[in-house]
Amino acid sequence: MAVQILDRENFVEVVSRPGITLVDCCADWCAPCKVFSPIFRQAAEKHARHVFGTLDVQAEQEIAEKLEIKHIPTLLLYRDGLLLLHEPASLDAGHLDGIVEQAESLDMDQVRAAIARERERTGED
């Protein structure tokens, strides 16, 4: 599957879908991003049942600020609309595959219950 370009028009819709969505937060001028980009594209082909997208943090500064992107590349992983990973790093293929496999194996009912317990503990809505 091709990597989708994410922007203010489609970002929320794409990451809110059921299933796993990975987002490569990057910029054209970033050398580490250029190294990570082909690894990310290969993972998108290997894990074609999941959604892979890129977010140009320079073009989409408002989204990048809301997501608190401080370093690029940064990998975001959403499952069923929940942000589960926010990792600033240029990962190798094996590490990226491992992240996808871990996300696939999660019991989302347990994840949602843990989030609810934490929100109750901290008084968050």
Number of domains in the chain: 1
Output the pTM of the full model: 0.92
Active-site annotation holder among 22, 23, 33, 63: 33
* The one-letter amino acid at 101: E
Buried b (16+ CB within 10 A) or exposed e, 45-77: eebeebbbbbbbbeebeebbeebebeebbbbbb
Query: What is the residue range of 58's domain?
Result: 4-122
Share of the chain above pLDDT 90, in %: 90
Q: What is the DSSP letter of 27?
A: -
CATH of the domain at 49: 3.40.30.10
- What confidence tens digit (pLDDT) does each residue in 37-76 have? 999 999 999 999 999 999 999 999 999 999 999 999 999 9
Predicted pLDDT at 1: 62
Distance CA 40, CA 6 (A): 15
Q: Which residue out of 20, 25, 26, 30 is catalytically annotated?
A: 30
Contact 93, 42 (CB under 8 A): yes
pLDDT tens profile 70-118:
999 999 999 999 999 999 988 999 999 999 999 999 999 999 999 999 9
33 noted as active-site residue: yes
- Let me know if 26 is a catalytic residue: no
